[in-house]
């Protein structure tokens, strides 16, 4: 039997291959490889998709977060509240922007930022960065209420096309960042990212900082760095963006099939959608009560590309030792890190593949 990958990027490519090839030919013939009209067109299309006025392409999602924070001109060293259960990049961007990460635990059911915990920190904070984990939005109306006047920066790297109460990812915060890393719901053929906002001045600041602080060649108005989107990536992203709503719909259908196939399996807790959320299932992660690592190894031996997001939480990473957190600091996040198991999920995943994943998982779990 053939392997079932965690994500099948070739299957997605097959759907856009002709368009992408034609677009690449045009760019290669034109000779403009950074920014250019393709990037401008993608920025307009992606801003409209997010329901905001402006999008700025960046080199990757981590830079997008850093640029969003830098554009806000926050007090140097200021405290930024973010969930402990996230990819390391969220915390990295805070540090790179010259700010101080303040981690808070997540809620047990959805593993999204615990708003009560966040509220305790917001009085001393300069910004809040909720993370829309695995494809569903943090409880944004509660985050915004708790934040009061403190700016909210969404980390929407895992939530392109998701919405909450009908309002899209990227349209809730003062400014938001996303990633087009190849494995994301909207993935480039290399690194890329974007900042989205309704605020024209913030968008202009992001553009400036991400282009050496320069709007006019060789005049550098403010200190910046280099984080621009490649023209070839914009070709891929424009083509894929047109298919994203249908792809997200296929992900939802696949998640529902997993729910049916795995419902009632003892020792396994299925992921839940928070009320009000339109989930886009970047990841379908179950929780395995007993011997997650053994179950993971069995799946992998059977050719099933299951994974763990994330095995070691940010606060226990050697690189974040300076935050001073010991084991036990964020119990919900730590327990989840020991139990989570991500199953293959991508728009082209077939029912037959899902049946095989479910049967292999069930057998592995029952043996324990």
Ligand X SMILES: *Cc1c(COP(=O)(O)O)cnc(C)c1O
Question: Which residues are the active-site residues?
Answer: 184
Separation of alpha carbons 354 and 360, rounded Å? 10
Position 60 contacts ligand X (CB under 6 A): yes
Q: Which of 49, 172, 181, 330 binds ligand X (CB under 6 A)?
A: 181
Using the contact rule CB under 6 A, the part of the chain among 56-64, 220-228, 241-249, 325-333 near ligand X is 56-64
Total residues contacting ligand X (rule CB under 6 A)?
Answer: 15
Estimate the crossing angle of helix 351-366 against helix 231-262, to 10 degrees. Answer: 60
Position 175 contacts ligand X (CB under 6 A): no
Write phi, then psi, for 4 (nearest 5 degrees). -115, 110
Position 354 contacts ligand X (CB under 6 A): no
Chain positions 94 to 153 lying near ligand X, rule: CB under 6 A, are 131
* Nearest position to ligand X, beta carbon: 61
Q: Which of 86/354 has CB closer to ligand X?
A: 86
Q: Which of 61, 78, 224, 313 binds ligand X (CB under 6 A)?
A: 61
Q: Which of 134, 158, 160, 169 binds ligand X (CB under 6 A)?
A: 158
Q: Do 86 and 130 touch, CB atoms closer than 8 A? A: no
Position 333 contacts ligand X (CB under 6 A): no
Separation of alpha carbons 247 and 254, rounded Å? 11
The site map against ligand X for 188-217 (x = CB under 6 A) is ---x-x------------------------
Residues 6+ apart with CB under 8 A from 243: 15, 16
Q: How far is the CB of 331 from ligand X (least distance, A)?
A: 21
Q: Which of 43, 47, 49, 86 binds ligand X (CB under 6 A)?
A: 86
Q: Which of 121/191 has CB closer to ligand X?
A: 191
Position 43 contacts ligand X (CB under 6 A): no
Q: How far is the CB of 186 from ligand X (least distance, A)?
A: 11
Q: Which of 136/158 has CB closer to ligand X?
A: 158
Q: Which of 154/298 has CB closer to ligand X?
A: 154
Residues 6+ apart with CB under 8 A from 29: none
Q: Which of 283/361 has CB closer to ligand X?
A: 283
Separation of alpha carbons 320 and 82, rounded Å? 14
Residues 6+ apart with CB under 8 A from 80: 69, 74, 94, 99, 100, 101, 102, 125, 126, 127, 128, 129
Q: Do 113 and 83 touch, CB atoms closer than 8 A? A: yes
Position 90 contacts ligand X (CB under 6 A): yes
Q: How far is the CB of 62 from ligand X (least distance, A)?
A: 3
Match 């403009």 to its residue by tokens: 32
What are the C-alpha distances in Å from 358 to residues 132, 147, 241, 332? Answer: 26, 41, 30, 26
Position 307 contacts ligand X (CB under 6 A): no
Separation of alpha carbons 258 and 351, rounded Å? 9
Position 344 contacts ligand X (CB under 6 A): no
Write out the two tokens for 207: 């553009």
Q: Which of 194/361 has CB closer to ligand X?
A: 194
Q: Which of 85, 134, 169, 179 binds ligand X (CB under 6 A)?
A: 179
Q: Which of 121, 155, 211, 230 binds ligand X (CB under 6 A)?
A: 155
Q: Which of 284/295 has CB closer to ligand X?
A: 284
Position 281 contacts ligand X (CB under 6 A): no
Separation of alpha carbons 196 and 53, rounded Å? 8
Enumerate binding residues for ligand X (CB under 6 A): 60-62, 86-87, 89-90, 131, 155, 157-158, 179, 181, 191, 193
């Amino acid at each position: 039997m053939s392997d079932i990958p965690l994500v099948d990027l070739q299957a997605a490519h097959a759907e856009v291959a002709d368009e992408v090839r034609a677009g690449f030919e045009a760019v290669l013939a034109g000779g403009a490889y950074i920014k250019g009209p393709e990037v401008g067109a993608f920025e307009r299309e992606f801003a409209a998709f997010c329901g905001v006025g402006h999008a700025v392409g960046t080199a990757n999602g981590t830079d997008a977060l850093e640029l969003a924070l830098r554009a806000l001109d926050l007090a140097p060293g200021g405290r930024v509240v973010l969930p402990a259960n996230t990819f390391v990049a969220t915390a990295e961007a805070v540090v790179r922007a010259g700010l101080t990460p303040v981690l808070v635990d997540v809620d047990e059911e959805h593993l999204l930022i615990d708003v009560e915990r966040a509220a305790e920190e917001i009085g001393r904070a300069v910004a809040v960065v909720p993370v829309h984990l695995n494809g569903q939005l943090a409880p944004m109306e509660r985050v915004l209420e708790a934040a009061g006047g403190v700016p909210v920066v969404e980390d929407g790297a895992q939530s392109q096309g998701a919405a909450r109460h009908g309002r899209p990812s990227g349209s809730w915060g003062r400014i938001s960042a996303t990633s087009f890393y190849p494995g994301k719901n909207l993935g480039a053929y290399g690194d890329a990212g974007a900042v989205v906002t309704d605020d024209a001045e913030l968008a202009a600041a992001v553009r400036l900082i991400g282009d050496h602080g320069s709007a006019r060649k060789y005049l550098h108005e403010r200190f910046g760095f280099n984080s621009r989107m490649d023209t070839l990536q914009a070709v891929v992203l424009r083509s894929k963006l047109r298919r994203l709503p249908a792809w997200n719909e296929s992900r939802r259908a696949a998640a529902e099939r997993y729910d049916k196939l795995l419902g009632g399996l003892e020792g396994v807790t299925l992921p839940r959608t928070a009320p009000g959320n339109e989930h886009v299932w970047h990841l379908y992660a179950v929780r395995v009560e007993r011997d997650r690592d053994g179950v993971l190894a069995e799946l992998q031996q059977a050719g099933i590309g299951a994974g763990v997001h994330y095995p070691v939480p940010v606060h226990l990473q050697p690189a974040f030792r300076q935050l001073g957190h010991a084991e036990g600091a964020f119990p919900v996040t730590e327990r989840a890190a020991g139990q989570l198991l991500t199953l293959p999920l991508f728009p082209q995943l077939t029912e037959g593949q899902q049946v095989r994943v479910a049967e292999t998982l069930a057998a592995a779990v029952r043996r324990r």
